[in-house]
Chains A and B, each alone.
Chain A
């Protein structure tokens, strides 16, 4: 543990910090804003909202996405909703309660000041989204509807059928396209950031590859904003989209940005199990299913009968038996770990014995099929579409899957990384969710960062730079990075090995899932730390990339991304190994209560760990940021 990181949190009571800070920050005169150039990488919720807002303010923005359109980012897949402390339901919600719930939900591993600001901004996000035309669900009286989500005690979740993410992203996208039309934002699609350029300790630009032409290009600016999402795809199978990757964040990490808490990954308990080796991704179903479904597996590992033919006495309702009070409604991580335990014992169900039953028979008896259809019709249809099994007739099969990553690049209160000029937003940063993210909070954080935090804090960084020009792209620093990127691209094509990128990615995923998955122990993590580098070496020697570097070449794109996943996976294992406690999504088997619950070690680990890159073959340096809890008392949770 070296040194202590300063998050530069403003002084004062938590409720006044942001207000005071907004006043204290330096401003850029409206006429001067056009003299500043900002690069925004990624056009999901955080990136699109940031680029649009900066464009509206008058900055000259360059927004990049590797998709063909900014509207396709994976924010679009969020189903459930977005939290906001509007208290429209008059049920006792407040900014402080949302703040409190989020810190507690994060298992006391987040920064209080950031979370409070997030709760404050949540209110404005809803106003902004509605004004943009986001069609949130409404009551017959024409006002906004809310629901309770993820076990929250108040109804504060705004939703748009099952596509809240898509509708919010379309709102941010439309705001972005408005700025493209206005000429303040220069939009580059199908352009992937492959490296960060740092000069004199400051982020001064990026190097990109045009995915259509293969051209490597340099872009310079006064500041670089990364809004490039999470790294769940390191596990190969996750609910993330195919293209989600860590490359932009990882390349920044290699250029000096600290990577914080990579071991904080979130598992979602109700996903559809993989059906075969070639399954490309997992599909998530709303957790609300657990309200009426009973989770069980057969007691006999060699069971071959259909679920409905197995007598009650031969069924193992493992959650109900272990947690009589909460039963099937135990939190995500508890439900997930227990499912993994029974599957590891060979009790799994389905052709690959890789799932557990989620049975609606009792609810169907009690409420009738029509009631089930009314509540879960869409989800049942989705399940049938994917599995070909009728969930009205037989129990669903479910299994946990990786779905969100709380870790990311370390940022201070202003969302700036330790590299001045490099800002990180949304899932790509580590800031607000601690060790575990609450349901309906990802959309909130992405939009808060992009609409309501960065537009203020970036001015504070830029103001003193007035009068300076971005580094010319023919500067030595750019040329060097440009050459490195070109060399890396050539490298993949020159290996001419025998195995596809996907094969290596699948193998890496298995190592990660088995050892850095839902439950971790030191032996498994040590194993991962020895297996990952070995596989990585094989990857660099034996991957087969066909085609050329000019024109579209998806395998080539994937090679670079998987290569960065290898390095990240190693850091994840190292971070998990070092954090000898259980908290939120990070469960160390060595640290649990007698009842098998996650046991935090607040004396030794009430801090964020931020890692510094030192080279491919040397160990990274672990920095820490102490976490202080002045407003939320630390407690140990229990679900018995």
Chain B
């Protein structure tokens, strides 16, 4: 088993209101097959052994789908691997002697809870504003009643693949949540089932987003950071839907 030695600079902050700062730790004998989070587990074991409080960070499924984990690693959201969440980043991507800076996601609306853990609940607020199709349990028609062209279903899926990790906001210099919001909106707006609430949904979700996050300047950092590589095009579709919605006569919405 190959092992490497690393120097970590980890952001430590005891609570939301406390001052934070970087603390340097030596991580020795890190197996290359470990994931980045297992490396942090190992550091934590050592910290506990020496009586220092372990580093708080969030993770759950550790297979890149739940979206719980995520930190800035050397200035990149989820680290250097493209299309990879932090839990799926393995230490063999680093070299012996590397210096790694680990910092929490940052945005005004992602306040730090402790160390590397942040509160991402505004993303849920955006979904609450309209990220659903209003169908009560039991009232659905047969699933094959409405054919959905395969291309449409695939495009909707590309948007629906968003795992809600917040890396897009973290990577954006403006702390904009456009990619997350657009993925959520377009997943539903592209499908025939989502048409009834399309305009209402678009306006409500965009306007909720804007209460919490910055403005998109089309830099594209979000897509680069996204573990699911959600394309920027969804942002464009959302912009178009939003302006259309403002201009449209809703009573004629059925005609588009």
CB within 8 Å of B: which residues of A? 49, 52-53, 56, 67-74, 76-77, 86, 88, 124, 126-133, 135-144, 160-161, 163, 165-167, 170, 173-175, 177-178, 180-181, 189, 212, 241-243, 275-276, 278-281, 283, 351, 385-388, 451-452, 455, 500, 502-503, 544, 546-547, 551-555
A and B contact pairs by CB, cutoff 8 A, 20 listed: A67-B60, A68-B68, A72-B60, A131-B139, A131-B141, A133-B156, A135-B160, A138-B148, A142-B150, A143-B147, A163-B161, A167-B157, A173-B127, A242-B62, A275-B1, A275-B31, A385-B84, A385-B88, A386-B90, A555-B48
Distance between A182 CB and nearest chain B CB, rounded to angstroms: 10
B187 touches A133 (CB 8 A): yes
8 closest cross-chain pairs (CB), A and B: A142-B147, A131-B140, A275-B33, A174-B132, A130-B143, A135-B157, A127-B140, A178-B132
Distance between B145 CB and nearest chain A CB, rounded to angstroms: 9
State in angstroms the CA–CA spacing of A502 and B187 once bound together.
Answer: 40
Given contacts A72-B68, A276-B31, A385-B90, contact A138 B143 (CB under 8 A): no
Within 8 A of A (CB), among B149-173: 149-150, 153-154, 156-157, 160-161, 163-164
A278 touches B61 (CB 8 A): no
Distance between B197 CB and nearest chain A CB, rounded to angstroms: 10
Given contacts A77-B61, A133-B191, contact A278 B42 (CB under 8 A): yes
State in angstroms the CA–CA spacing of A208 and B34 once bound together.
Answer: 34
Distance between A476 CB and nearest chain B CB, rounded to angstroms: 34
For the complex, is B120 an interface residue (Cβ under 8 Å from A)? yes
Distance between B196 CB and nearest chain A CB, rounded to angstroms: 11
Given contacts A74-B61, A163-B65, A163-B161, contact A56 B148 (CB under 8 A): no
A351 touches B84 (CB 8 A): no
Given contacts A135-B191, A174-B127, A280-B41, contact A128 B90 (CB under 8 A): no
State in angstroms the CA–CA spacing of A167 and B157 once bound together.
Answer: 9
State in angstroms the CA–CA spacing of A27 and B123 once bound together.
Answer: 37
Residue of B nearest to A242 (CB): B60
| Residues of chain B at interface, number, CB under 8 A | 79
For the complex, is B211 an interface residue (Cβ under 8 Å from A)? no
Given contacts A163-B161, A386-B88, A388-B92, contact A124 B138 (CB under 8 A): yes
Given contacts A67-B60, A160-B157, A283-B63, contact A127 B137 (CB under 8 A): no
Chain B residues closer than 8 Å to A142, beta-carbon distance = 147-150, 153
Contact of B144 among A88, A167, A283, A547 (CB under 8 A): A88
Given contacts A212-B113, A275-B34, contact A128 B121 (CB under 8 A): no
State in angstroms the CA–CA spacing of A342 and B52 once bound together.
Answer: 43
State in angstroms the CA–CA spacing of A555 and B49 once bound together.
Answer: 13
Distance between B10 CB and nearest chain A CB, rounded to angstroms: 15
A243 touches B60 (CB 8 A): yes
Contact of B66 among A128, A241, A547 (CB under 8 A): A241
Residue of A nearest to B55 (CB): A554
A52 touches B60 (CB 8 A): no
State in angstroms the CA–CA spacing of A142 and B49 once bound together.
Answer: 58
Q: Which one of B37, B45, B137, B187 has the highest number of Cβ atoms from chain A below 10 Å of its Cβ?
A: B137
Chain A residues closer than 8 Å to B123, beta-carbon distance = 69
State in angstroms the CA–CA spacing of A448 and B135 once bound together.
Answer: 17
State in angstroms the CA–CA spacing of A501 and B5 once bound together.
Answer: 25
Distance between A561 CB and nearest chain B CB, rounded to angstroms: 13
B114 touches A131 (CB 8 A): no
For the complex, is B79 an interface residue (Cβ under 8 Å from A)? no
State in angstroms the CA–CA spacing of A49 and B135 once bound together.
Answer: 12
Given contacts A69-B124, A181-B129, contact A281 B150 (CB under 8 A): no
For the complex, is B98 an interface residue (Cβ under 8 Å from A)? no
Distance between A215 CB and nearest chain B CB, rounded to angstroms: 14
Bitwise, B74-89 to A at CB < 8 A (1) or not (0) is 0000000000100010
For the complex, is B255 an interface residue (Cβ under 8 Å from A)? no
Given contacts A69-B124, A455-B137, A551-B114, contact A137 B153 (CB under 8 A): yes
A56 touches B31 (CB 8 A): no
A281 touches B62 (CB 8 A): yes
Chain B residues closer than 8 Å to A163, beta-carbon distance = 65, 161
A76 touches B48 (CB 8 A): no
A132 touches B135 (CB 8 A): yes
Given contacts A167-B160, A180-B128, contact A56 B68 (CB under 8 A): no
Distance between B115 CB and nearest chain A CB, rounded to angstroms: 8
Chain A residues closer than 8 Å to B63, beta-carbon distance = 77, 281, 283
For the complex, is B51 an interface residue (Cβ under 8 Å from A)? yes
Chain B residues closer than 8 Å to A547, beta-carbon distance = 53
Contact of B160 among A67, A170, A241 (CB under 8 A): A170
State in angstroms the CA–CA spacing of A74 and B131 once bound together.
Answer: 21
